[in-house]
Amino acid sequence: MATINNFLCLSLFLIIITQGMAAKCYPGRVTIYQKPTGRRIHHKTEWKVSVANECACMQLNVRLSCAGFHSLRFLSPSVLSKSGNLCIINNNNPISPFSTFNFTYVWDHQFVFAPVSSQEACS
């Protein structure tokens, strides 16, 4: 009887853990961190942006709000491209689970990026 109870408890535990690991990902699980790199270019600060996927699934088609964004330095469209008030990062390539996509820009002050949308790809 104890063996059956142990088996049922273990099964229930594994189901709960599995469901937690496959929890829905949403733009809030994409977090943006920024910090100055310490470099100045033409008297403007270089900023490093890290877009972190804090989800167990890949994040595809990550879109950030970026109305009014400017950079003194050219950013390749494969890194960041603007579409209206949205920015598409990483050329729509996925951001792997629990990893980051980084880029830098140069401007007077830190720009506030915010995640707007993304698509999850869980296996």
Residue bearing the bigger pLDDT, 94 or 25:
94
Closest C-alpha to 37, from 50, 27, 46, 24? 46
**Whether domain 25-121 has CATH 2.60.40:** yes
What is residue 2's predicted lDDT score, i.e. its pLDDT? 61
Cβ atoms within 10 A of the Cβ of 8, count? 10
Where is average pLDDT lowest: 1-10, 59-68, 91-100, 108-117?
1-10
The domain limits of the chain are 25-121
Task: Specify the pTM.
Answer: 0.77
What is residue 98's predicted lDDT score, i.e. its pLDDT? 94
Q: Please give the average per-residue pLDDT across 54-72, as a whole number.
A: 94
